Structure 1
Amino acid sequence: MSMSLSRRGFLAGTAGFVALHPFSLRAAANQAHLRIMETTDLHVHVFPYDYYADRPIDTVGLARTAALIDDVRAEATNALLIDNGDFLQGNPMGDYIAYERGMKEGDMHPVIAAMNALGFDASTLGNHEFNYGLSFLEKSLAGAKFPVVCANIAKSLGASPTEDETLLPPYVILDHSVTDGAGESHQIKLGLIGFVPPQVMNWDRRHLEGNVMARDIVETARAYVPQMREAGCDLVVALSHSGIGGADHTDGMENASVPLAAVDGIDAILTGHSHLVFPSSTYAEFAGLDVEQGTIMGKPAVMGGFWGSHMGLIDLMIERDGSGWRVLSHTAEARPIYTRGEDRSITPTVESVDKVLAAAEQEHQETLAYVRRAVGKTDAPLHSYFALVADDPSVQIVSNAQTWYIEQMMQGTEYEGLPILSAAAPFKAGGRGGPEYYTDVAVGDVAIKNVSDLYLYPNTVRAVKVTGAEVKDWLERSAGMFNQIEPGAEDATLLNPEFPSYNFDVMDGVTYQIDLSQPSKFGPKGELINPEASRIVNLAYNGEPIDPAQEFIIASNNYRAGGGGSFPGASPETTVFEGPDTNRDVIVRYIVEKGTVSPRADGNWSFAPMEGTTVIFETGPAGAQYADGVPGVTIEEAGQSDSGFARFRISL
């Protein structure tokens, strides 16, 4: 019996158990099916667990993604497993290892241990690998049983990228054995080259400045890929920890995967950084992309979500061509670990793999203890019961942390020196969440899991550049939270029930009042409805009336800066900084660094006085204990609503 028939017989015999990829079934002599599996942006999510909420979760975790690996390998005759960066930082387990346990020489990082257990073939660095400093990075990578590459971060720069002294090897050439359609084994040289956004030099300046330098991604690729070919690479795969952005190359691009894919000599590209999925309809209108074919600039490409949500897959049918190999055809997909129903319910499609859980079990238990104990203290209660009627401590700490972070990020940029304001909104403020749906952290210890109570969403920090006039209109938009109140009214309903609390931005760094006798300038969706209205009065910066032409930096989040809520001045066009860090992470770092925080509301905003006027405001009954200390308003209890909310009367 020939080897070809033997192989076909084996495949036929296993067909009932495994659905083989068509490339494995169709490969002829001198043709082979090569499968590349990608994880990206794991951010230390080994376990399917939300440490902030302190509960299991079905949408994340390398232990779940791992369940796809055996199936994926069984569907193909040849497979590689590659990580695309951002594995060392991003959840409380990462912070626990960095801030609490530490990494001594010879210590094993739990995410590295989990990756070793799965037999990863290679990885590149992501920008978050630098968050804890170079020494921590080096000690963590020392435990990896797979090569880690990065071409555009250098200890010293030469005349060209290929003459740099790079921090890590710029690329690796794997001698890989592939089995062709006739059952014959062949050696193939696979070149893997890695890239990270050069913006790391700003994002982690305190760790990197004076120690390393960054080069442009595309410039670096154009220099190294020919060298890799000359070294005998049959195929070159770019590990691009860089998002999918514009097709035209500009120097220093953060999201450079499209022009990178156009570099001659690159056969396939793994992308990440953006926490999105490719191929998907998200990228349907992007230049240079073919969502149906799964290509970027004609090259097979994939982006496998984030936190282990998907396994990225590129399948290549390759053919021996003389002394080398070429790609005949391909498929690409991002395979999820869960499905979402029409009612947004989550159904996991896989179970966790025990060996991955075991690799990090001890650190998981230690992390649970870590998130449940104090990382700092607050000398003021952090509650949101009155966040919609007065300056509030739960919003104040978010603003304080955002300002602290953006002040660091603006150093050394063209925006250094511009005044920094901070916009933050209360997320847990009753409403449809019910009378218990409020932030409430007592004076004393603050645990990491309390941070999810302060900031519900995994947003990332951003900053926009605006004028004084846009600051005013931003606040006018926010003031749509309130109904128009007739002067002299008794017990008028204060809040507009259709206005979500997450669109009630409080602005720190300025002082202002809200004149409730005026109509709202903007409608529920941010549309201009009363152009002459002016609810925001006495708006001042540094005690002086704000100059409409003065420029300001506003610290916010990706939702707002991306246009969420339609706030004047907040848009991708005005965005001057896109942080790699989540607002939650920034709050944790702020608390850890400060030790004790004092997030007392400073009363920088209030309602303009309206003599003889009262309004009714509903909040959680537990807020009564804080009513006497609310700045800028006079509050008295006014009974309880049928839905269980406490009613309070505010005298304007």
Structure 2
Amino acid sequence: MITYLKNGVSRRMLLKGAAAAGITAALHPYSVLAKEGTAHLRLMETTDLHVHVFPYDYYADRPTDTAGLARTATLIRQIRDEATNSMLVDNGDFLQGNPLGDYIAYERGMKDGDLHPVIKGMNVLGFDAGTLGNHEFNYGLEFMQKVLAGANFPMVCANLASGKLASNPRDDAFLLDPYLIVEKTVMDGAGKSYPIKIGFVGFVPPQIMNWDRGHLEGNVQTRGIVEAAKAIVPEMKEKGCDLIVALSHSGIDASSHQDGMENASLHLASVDGIDAVFTGHQHQVFPGPSYEGLPGVDVKKGTLFGKPAAMGGFWGSHLGVIDLMLERGGGSWRIAGFTTEARPIYEKEGREVTPLVHSQEDVLAAVQADHDATLAYVRRPVGETSAPLHSYFALVADDPSVQIVSKAQLWYIGDMMKETEWEGLPILSAAAPFKAGGRGGPDYYTDVPVGAVAIKNVSDLYLYPNTVRAVKVSGATVKEWLERSAGIFLQIEPGAQDAPLINPEFPSYNFDVIDGVTYKIDLSQPSKYGAKGEVLDPQASRIIDLQFDGAPVDPSQDFIVATNNYRAGGGGNFPGISDEVVIFVAPDTNRDVLVRYIVDQGTINPSADANWTFKPMDGTSVLFDTGPRGKEHLNDVKGVDIVAAGDGDDGFARYRISL
């Protein structure tokens, strides 16, 4: 991708000019063309590492070329060599996200003075600063603080306070320093050194108060990202910052700003005094086509409201890079030009992945012992399965990988409700497929063969360290819950041939299947809810023949629904689901419950029971893409008429469903 300077000069033109000058060193054009009084500063970002240090997929128990800080480290060192001046930051969500993180949190633990493996890897690379992501809180504040104590670089967060919020955001009792001012020396194009004050200010999604309420309620409070920035950034300017860089663990959303919005990086860029923005959280790449056409976003220039910005993918897949040409005048610095990019560690064409870099051995060595211990941890058997556990068809039919999670939740909550005021109420269970392709690619599916089930398989079935919750809701809310889930499907015109079925903007983790009731989905009807849970058509109704115990569900009947803390706390914006309807907060994670269920059963039978199907539509067919290994399980799919239909895009296999 070509990115552009403010004055319209392209990176390609600069490279051409450098070549014409006979310069062959592998330097960025800014470093080549800088003169006296101008300096090239390269800012680099990792984001959403999720404990991926080794290039290894612990769920599949095999190496991977698409992830790993050890691979990103090669980019970091290459890019440093291309620049006269550089700095490296992390943008959050480094602490949780794969079995290495869970092994440390749940098996080994963190004692005072221990170094977490992800911190070991990061400490090798010379980070200048970092901020928190929402997943840093998944294991609790005490655990997080022990991890942060081992980092050899400072962490900042400007919208997170201990205890209650003050009337003025500047007066909050910040859990971490809200910002960092680095007094750095930069070298200009003539080889002269000058001082510069660079400020880094960090932000976390305020939604952590819902997502990890059990750890955070009564201990910390959050502010809206933009609200905090408007108070804190002027203070940084007052202290003499020449340049202010926002570390925003928040995505890019072009909808109107609302206080407390989750993905606020675009609106953050509009705050006076912020010069550049590193963004993340959405597991996307910026500059990149995913944000094409959004107001205020320029993917060619790599800007948010005209300011340089970058998002470095996830799991170490890309390095976010912002190159600044700085100009000195009157004892201070200003940005004279910039380029931005997200540099990848691999290329992909169809199913073929080509690594672009090798791992850095010192990063691997720092984490080797923890990696080996994690492999032993994930390979530990806990039971047997009499049927395959896979998620290849989880979005189009009742699915064994979702079924087994629901069975475990029903087993657990059924026991927890004994001798309570809710004993005797019917219990349902809501679960969603976490690994269902999408942005994760054609190999991103659960696939456990018949036989031994190890901890790695349980982690594969349930990706996140959520904790179990139970909510009490009416039959009417159960229907709305399913209406919200059914928004994953596009509306299908009766008689249509090979119409696309899945809305690609709808994340699979919000496609809840509710076990304990039976129902059909009428695809000829419009969706009542959009991908974010917004009401699109108040009169729409896709869920039909909703029954419990063989009879239509009474809208006023009470049900207990087993779910997780994310959903029960309002995650996904499901109608009628919030803390107000929570009746039970479990001390156990959904994964732990799943392991205990498998151990209790010894041998599990995860076969799906086809409790939901599509309403028949004669003469109508739709297309659905899934992983190519799904063909091995095609004959096991219940409730739909599905046949292979050739190759899909980007390495997926395509199937045709006759409705």
The TM-score, its normalising length taken from structure 2, stands at 0.69
Paired letter, 1:591: L
- Do the aligned partners of 2:285 and 2:313 also contact (CA within 8 Å) in 1? yes
Question: What residue in structure 1 maps to residue 13 of structure 2?
Answer: none
Mark the CA change 1:251 to 1:419 in structure 2 (over 3 Å): closer, same or farther: farther
Match of 2:315 among 307, 313, 318: 307
Question: What residue in structure 2 maps to residue 591 of structure 1?
Answer: 594
- Paired with 1:254 and 1:535, the residues of 2 have a C-alpha distance of 29
Aligned length: 534
- Paired with 2:557 and 2:598, the residues of 1 have a C-alpha distance of 35
Paired letter, 2:479: G
- Do the aligned partners of 1:401 and 1:586 also contact (CA within 8 Å) in 2? no
- Alignment of 1:468 with 2:475, yes or no, is no
- Do the aligned partners of 2:515 and 2:611 also contact (CA within 8 Å) in 1? no
- Alignment of 1:150 with 2:157, yes or no, is yes
Match of 2:368 among 361, 365, 383: 361
For 1:441-520, list aligned pairs within 5 A. 441-442=450-451, 446-451=453-458, 454=461, 468=479, 471=482, 507-512=513-518
- Paired with 1:554 and 1:286, the residues of 2 have a C-alpha distance of 38
Match of 2:72 among 65, 68, 71: 65
Post-superposition Cα deviations, 1:213-271, rounded to whole Å, max 9, x if no partner, equal: 11111111111101111111111000000111125321111101011110000000000
- Alignment of 1:269 with 2:287, yes or no, is no
For 1:97-108, list aligned pairs within 5 A. 97-108=104-115
Question: What residue in structure 2 maps to residue 649 of structure 1?
Answer: none
Question: What residue in structure 2 maps to residue 39 of structure 1?
Answer: 46
Match of 1:286 among 287, 291, 294: 294
Match of 2:141 among 131, 134, 144: 134
Mark the CA change 1:390 to 1:60 in structure 2 (over 3 Å): closer, same or farther: closer
- Paired with 1:272 and 1:209, the residues of 2 have a C-alpha distance of 25
Paired letter, 2:374: T
- Do the aligned partners of 2:388 and 2:606 also contact (CA within 8 Å) in 1? no
- Paired with 1:53 and 1:623, the residues of 2 have a C-alpha distance of 21
Mark the CA change 1:406 to 1:125 in structure 2 (over 3 Å): closer, same or farther: farther
- Alignment of 1:124 with 2:127, yes or no, is no
Deviation at 1:539, TM superposition (A): 3.3
- Paired with 1:116 and 1:352, the residues of 2 have a C-alpha distance of 16
- Do the aligned partners of 1:591 and 1:597 also contact (CA within 8 Å) in 2? no
- Paired with 2:405 and 2:321, the residues of 1 have a C-alpha distance of 39
- Paired with 1:329 and 1:313, the residues of 2 have a C-alpha distance of 14
Question: What residue in structure 1 maps to residue 209 of structure 2?
Answer: 201
- Alignment of 1:219 with 2:231, yes or no, is no
Post-superposition Cα deviations, 1:525-570, rounded to whole Å, max 9, x if no partner, equal: 99xxxxxxx999863247751257999999999xxxxxxxxxxxxx
- Paired with 1:426 and 1:268, the residues of 2 have a C-alpha distance of 33
- Paired with 2:78 and 2:390, the residues of 1 have a C-alpha distance of 50
Paired letter, 2:150: G
- Paired with 2:484 and 2:132, the residues of 1 have a C-alpha distance of 41
Deviation at 1:31, TM superposition (A): 1.0
Question: What residue in structure 1 maps to residue 531 of structure 2?
Answer: none
- Do the aligned partners of 2:297 and 2:305 also contact (CA within 8 Å) in 1? yes
Mark the CA change 1:476 to 1:112 in structure 2 (over 3 Å): closer, same or farther: closer
- Do the aligned partners of 1:27 and 1:33 also contact (CA within 8 Å) in 2? yes
- Do the aligned partners of 1:511 and 1:605 also contact (CA within 8 Å) in 2? no
Match of 1:91 among 92, 98, 102: 98
Question: Helix, strand or coil: the match of 2:83?
Answer: coil
Paired letter, 1:116: N
Mark the CA change 1:607 to 1:284 in structure 2 (over 3 Å): closer, same or farther: closer
Deviation at 1:335, TM superposition (A): 0.3
- Paired with 1:322 and 1:204, the residues of 2 have a C-alpha distance of 48
Deviation at 1:446, TM superposition (A): 3.9
- Alignment of 1:23 with 2:23, yes or no, is no
- Paired with 1:512 and 1:216, the residues of 2 have a C-alpha distance of 41
- Alignment of 1:295 with 2:317, yes or no, is no
- Alignment of 1:320 with 2:345, yes or no, is no
- RMSD of the TM alignment (CA)? 5.0
Paired letter, 2:94: F
Larger Rg: 1 or 2? Answer: 1
Deviation at 1:572, TM superposition (A): 8.7
Paired letter, 1:135: E
Post-superposition Cα deviations, 1:181-238, rounded to whole Å, max 9, x if no partner, equal: 1111011111000000011111111111111111111111111101111111111000
- Do the aligned partners of 2:51 and 2:101 also contact (CA within 8 Å) in 1? yes
Question: What residue in structure 1 maps to residue 530 of structure 2?
Answer: none
Question: What residue in structure 1 maps to residue 241 of structure 2?
Answer: 233
- Paired with 1:263 and 1:406, the residues of 2 have a C-alpha distance of 47
Paired letter, 1:512: T
Post-superposition Cα deviations, 1:289-318, rounded to whole Å, max 9, x if no partner, equal: 111111101111000000000011000111
Question: What residue in structure 2 maps to residue 167 of structure 1?
Answer: 175
Post-superposition Cα deviations, 1:404-436, rounded to whole Å, max 9, x if no partner, equal: 9999xxxxxxxxx999752557999xxxx9xxx
Paired letter, 2:42: R
Match of 2:341 among 320, 333, 338: 333
Question: What residue in structure 2 maps to residue 189 of structure 1?
Answer: 197
- Do the aligned partners of 1:40 and 1:83 also contact (CA within 8 Å) in 2? yes
Deviation at 1:321, TM superposition (A): 2.5
Instruction: Name the stretch that deviates more: 98-107 or 154-163.
Output: 154-163
- Paired with 1:470 and 1:451, the residues of 2 have a C-alpha distance of 26
Paired letter, 1:215: R
Deviation at 1:588, TM superposition (A): 3.1
Identity %: 54
- Paired with 1:347 and 1:621, the residues of 2 have a C-alpha distance of 26
Mark the CA change 1:426 to 1:201 in structure 2 (over 3 Å): closer, same or farther: closer
Question: What residue in structure 2 maps to residue 75 of structure 1?
Answer: 82
- Alignment of 1:210 with 2:218, yes or no, is yes
Paired letter, 2:43: I
- Do the aligned partners of 2:312 and 2:319 also contact (CA within 8 Å) in 1? yes
- Do the aligned partners of 1:394 and 1:426 also contact (CA within 8 Å) in 2? no
Question: What residue in structure 2 maps to residue 647 of structure 1?
Answer: none
The TM-score, its normalising length taken from structure 1, stands at 0.70
- Do the aligned partners of 1:476 and 1:535 also contact (CA within 8 Å) in 2? no
- Do the aligned partners of 1:469 and 1:549 also contact (CA within 8 Å) in 2? no
Question: Helix, strand or coil: the match of 2:263?
Answer: coil
- Do the aligned partners of 1:451 and 1:587 also contact (CA within 8 Å) in 2? no
Deviation at 1:22, TM superposition (A): 1.5
- Paired with 2:43 and 2:135, the residues of 1 have a C-alpha distance of 23
Deviation at 1:441, TM superposition (A): 4.8
Paired letter, 2:369: Q
Paired letter, 1:83: D
- Paired with 1:377 and 1:302, the residues of 2 have a C-alpha distance of 45
Match of 1:110 among 111, 114, 117: 117
- Do the aligned partners of 2:49 and 2:69 also contact (CA within 8 Å) in 1? yes
Question: What residue in structure 2 maps to residue 352 of structure 1?
Answer: 359
Deviation at 1:390, TM superposition (A): 11
Paired letter, 1:279: P
- Do the aligned partners of 1:384 and 1:426 also contact (CA within 8 Å) in 2? no
Question: Helix, strand or coil: the match of 1:96?
Answer: helix
Paired letter, 2:361: D
- Paired with 2:289 and 2:559, the residues of 1 have a C-alpha distance of 36
Mark the CA change 1:176 to 1:15 in structure 2 (over 3 Å): closer, same or farther: farther
Post-superposition Cα deviations, 1:342-388, rounded to whole Å, max 9, x if no partner, equal: x33100000001111111011111111111114x557x746459999
- Paired with 1:15 and 1:55, the residues of 2 have a C-alpha distance of 46
Deviation at 1:602, TM superposition (A): 10
